[in-house]
Structure 1
């Protein structure tokens, strides 16, 4: 296959399927047509992700999420009123993934043997049309784990990564646009996660929570979809000090394509990517900044977050679908990145991380 293999470390596939009611097995044009006259969400008719486009872009392995928030009294964020309801939603999402496995669209990757077999099969096949896309299951925000006893059940059905927080308040940790330390429950959860060698995703943590996780957690750590605070100075992005700490942990940081995480001028639901000329190349500025700190390209990758509650209205204007991630090859070459560096960013860093921690 002429296109390089891409690993995308953050896609909210089941949320789009269950809550947005998108049939991701269908062509992108059909999904958009179905939403043509819908206005319940700002990204209706503007989605970028479906299985045909993933395969078109040679995106053979993804980290796919379960996502369900518990909303406390007084919060404006949408969510569930109890952990049990949130858990039930994640189980609906899990069943959707299983249905996609039955259809041959996806295959669950739970260990090193699964990973190596899938990558070998994907790379050896010239036509990936009939090969399932590999997915590693991740929980974005731990709210839905009713208590720590639920962790083993989730691990048994295939969950391999967890982020403690998402946006706003959280049962285990406050998240984006909040401040404060981890809840005491988070330390019990991290202790059990470490025993299971689960990956802890630091994305969405507060600065206080980030420091506590880095000090406490003994298992593997990554940042699935994070950009650089030096370029976009808000709490959602990583400081240089945090980047150094992640490099010391041999973590990988996935660059995300939400415009407000790429360019400080962008205001979501207000700004227009085309008017501000926000292009894919802007993400390379974030990657390059991390490379300058690390001295190499060993700690960056793709964690696009595409269709993560936004579509083309909040993505770089030169991206029409997720298949356009392949455009980064030309962009990176023009910026002086070598072939080996591009392979690192496209897939090698994520695969090295997984092989090291799953061996």
Structure 2
């Protein structure tokens, strides 16, 4: 009797599903015309684990962010708490530790979805001492900036880590969190890499050598991530994939993956961080449909082995989380003396 090979789950390291649900009223449990991410769409694509964000946009972002924006740390805090509540009531179950990750991986089947919680932009953390509060409620990854924040310079807003940002990273280290370098300004990247000794990623950043700009990852940063055992997630957003105005293709995704794999020291350091978060209209480009991810795997086979393709599509992220998430609380406690 021929044994049917079990399908492998795809991991997507960046989706803003709560932002779209809370700020734009987009449902997650059913498809929506013109938008690309929903629970059924992810199931159809074979996505089994996502990095789901807590994202709050500053008021200065203007039309890009719509009306759901913040002007003060208190407003950012309330917005992130609203998204946290949405995940607790309507989102996929959260993976908090290695045991939960292993259980999800072993029991996974197509259609089953879980999430690791990522805070994109740290302004909802009113002061670094609050990092422990967010950790207890499931946050496992923090990116200090989107645009500039009180903690660090960010995309389009140069600057290093502030003194508050240094304290934030120290608090993150105490809570055994993962640092996300995506959106950090170059000066803040330099400061963070000098200070941070824990696990780190760039959840949704492409190659600056292909698409210039401070939003992308320089080769030197990708090499340092690889040297430290980190991960880079390639975004499927057109402006992250091409430097011109032509439509993006899956071949552009492959080009970024190949480049980052080379400079980071191997394909085991790259994966997907699609940013196909429902806020982008599907009509912009066919590449935005999650269903295209299966075709991406086929294209990757021209350049990588079957094992490497499996890694890029999900296994690399699972391996990284397996050594970077904290142990289950029962495993972390020292044994009691008898």
CA distances 1:295-352 after superposition (whole Å, capped 9, x unpaired): 42111000000136423354xx33352132111111112x332110111101111111
The list of structure 1 runs, each at least 4 consecutive aligned residues, that deviate by more than 3 angstroms after superposition, is: 1-4, 69-72, 74-78
Are 1:107 and 1:135, in contact at CA under 8 Å, matched by a contact in 2?
yes
How far apart are residue 10 of structure 1 and its match? 0.4
CA distances 1:106-157 after superposition (whole Å, capped 9, x unpaired): 11100000000011110xx4xx44x4x1100010000111111221111111
- Partner residue, 1:210: 189
TM-score between the two structures when normalised by the length of structure 2: 0.89
Are 1:68 and 1:80, in contact at CA under 8 Å, matched by a contact in 2?
yes
- Partner residue, 1:92: 82
Are 1:231 and 1:286, in contact at CA under 8 Å, matched by a contact in 2?
yes
Alpha-carbon separation, structure 2, partners of 1:49 and 1:331: 22
- Partner residue, 2:330: none
Are 2:225 and 2:264, in contact at CA under 8 Å, matched by a contact in 1?
no
Identify the match of residue 162 of structure 1 among 142, 149, 172: 142
Are 2:129 and 2:171, in contact at CA under 8 Å, matched by a contact in 1?
no
Alpha-carbon separation, structure 1, partners of 2:145 and 2:104: 30
Identify the match of residue 199 of structure 2 among 214, 217, 220: 220
CA distances 1:190-220 after superposition (whole Å, capped 9, x unpaired): 0010011100100000111111111101221
- Partner residue, 1:195: 174
Are 1:202 and 1:210, in contact at CA under 8 Å, matched by a contact in 2?
yes
* CA separation of 1:89 and 1:350: change in aligned 2, threshold 3 A: same
Alpha-carbon separation, structure 2, partners of 1:151 and 1:243: 27
Identify the match of residue 4 of structure 1 among 4, 8, 14: 8
How far apart are residue 68 of structure 1 and its match? 1.2
Identify the match of residue 342 of structure 1 among 296, 300, 309: 309
Alpha-carbon separation, structure 1, partners of 2:18 and 2:223: 33
- Partner residue, 2:20: 16
Are 2:236 and 2:287, in contact at CA under 8 Å, matched by a contact in 1?
no
Number of residues of Structure 1 aligned to a counterpart in Structure 2: 319
How far apart are residue 178 of structure 1 and its match? 1.8
Are 1:137 and 1:159, in contact at CA under 8 Å, matched by a contact in 2?
yes
Q: SS of the counterpart of 1:8?
A: strand
Alpha-carbon separation, structure 2, partners of 1:50 and 1:322: 9
- Where structure 1 has 5 or more consecutive residues not aligned to the other structure, the ranges are 33-45, 267-275
- Partner residue, 1:146: 126
Q: SS of the counterpart of 1:149?
A: helix
How far apart are residue 75 of structure 1 and its match? 7.7
RMSD: 1.9
- Partner residue, 1:114: 100
- Partner residue, 1:242: 221
